[in-house]
A and B are shown apart, each in its own frame.
Chain A
Amino acid sequence: MDAQTIIAKRIAQELRDGMLVNLGIGIPTLVSKFVPQGMHVYFQSENGLLGTGAPADGMHHPLLTDAGGKPVSALPGACTFDSATSFGLIRGGHLDMTVLGALQVDATGLLANWMIPGKMVPGMGGAMDLVSGAKRVIVAMQHTAKGQPKIVKRCSLPLTSVRPVDLLVTELAVIGFPGGRATLLETAPGVTVGQVREATEAELAVSERVCTMALQRIAA
């Protein structure tokens, strides 16, 4: 199983029936492929769609896209709206969960995911609103970038929000932040606590109940 699939499958276990969920671009988008059978989840595209699904072949419509401009479908029960309503859903406490990518997450769960000063300045898009407003914020990212830790003592990049994330899932580990402290909750199959610590710059507490990710529960 590749890194992205491990991350997406594990995050899919956090979905619950009837949730309204916003997925960021990149690895987070893959989560929608692993919704447990029989569960109905509303996925929001912040460009103005609730009930996003995959389009059937040949059924693409140029005026029906996701936030990355890619063609999507609208599932039964879907609705469309303007950007003010879209961000009303996000900021107004109506969004149960958001899954976002990250450049860095720090020891207390603070997230940086929108710019590298002087190098890459894509803009924050909806990320700051999503982290401020969603009931639950989950980060989906590879544990390291080019061998460098992304889970750091303190973010060197500009923060997305001062609200800490709730859960961080990588191909090596599931990390929570109880009491504002990075805590290892689960390791990926075949990965040791020592290996996770080695790939992590931030100090990492280990939960008394640390266990192995149960990826087989999800049929893909």
Chain B
Amino acid sequence: MKTILLKDVAALIPDGASVMIGGFMGVGTPERLIDELVRQGKKNLTVIANDNALPGIGIGKLISAGAVKKTIASHIGLNPETQKKMLAGELEVDLVPQGTLIERIRAGGFGLGGVLTPTGVGTVVETGKQRIEVGGKPYLLETALRADFALVDAFLADYIGNLYYALTARNFNPVIAMAADTVIVEAENIVPVGVISPDNVMTPAPVVDYIISHA
């Protein structure tokens, strides 16, 4: 794990990269990192996240800035700009049931090829997917998802990269932290090793690549 300046870490993410971003309606989203990606004028990103937040908040800023080519999300209903760009053909949107999306990401981070879920059987979500019966019950085979980068928002990070999340800001964060080639953390507080007790570490340090410096 390395500490890194905000502008330097954003520069590591090339145009066209796939990025998983933590947060649920902007809660638990690394806002400073998003702002820097917008400032550096990133283009053609594929953003994998629960939702697109609102214009002016979290991922909504990337959408408004035209930084996103494709988004894989469960809900875009509160971001009218995503809807507008999607209907105009400027933004590709892949809608995935929320429980399926997080399990696909979990599978990607846990070394699995995919998961079998009953969600979506018999609906448009089934289109193009394999249906598998187990014990007489139908399931859809949903394949694993990984990304080039995970942009994680933590409440506490210690000096070696152990992470702790607070309240409902946890959501997708610990799951995406397992499922990307490079894991970047924006922490509200950076604390000495030991402040987060072993039982309270939610993401273990070895999976974290960069912590954005508070300097």
Contact = CB atoms under 8 A, between A and B. Distances in A.
Interface of A: 45-49, 61-65, 67-69, 74, 80-84, 86-87, 90-91, 118, 120-129, 132-133, 158-162
B42 interface: no
Given A81-B170, A162-B122, 7 more contacts: A48-B24, A63-B155, A82-B172, A84-B175, A87-B102, A125-B75, A125-B98
Interface string B161-196: 000011111111111000000000000000000000
Contact of A82 (B95, B124, B125, B175): B175
A55 to B, nearest CB: 12
Contact of B74 (A49, A61, A120, A124): A124
A83 B123 contact: no
Contact of B75 (A65, A84, A91, A124): A124
Interface string B115-142: 0011111111100000000000000000
Contacts of A61: 167
B97 A124 contact: yes
B97 A128 contact: yes
Contacts of B83: 120-122
B99 interface: yes
A86 B175 CA distance: 12
A12 B74 CA distance: 28
A73 B121 CA distance: 35
Contacts of A46: 98
Contacts of A62: 27
Contacts of B73: 123
B123 A122 contact: no
The winner among B117, B124, B165, B168 for most chain A CB atoms within 10 A is B168
A87 B168 contact: no
Interface string B86-127: 110000010101111011001000000000011111111100
B171 A48 contact: yes
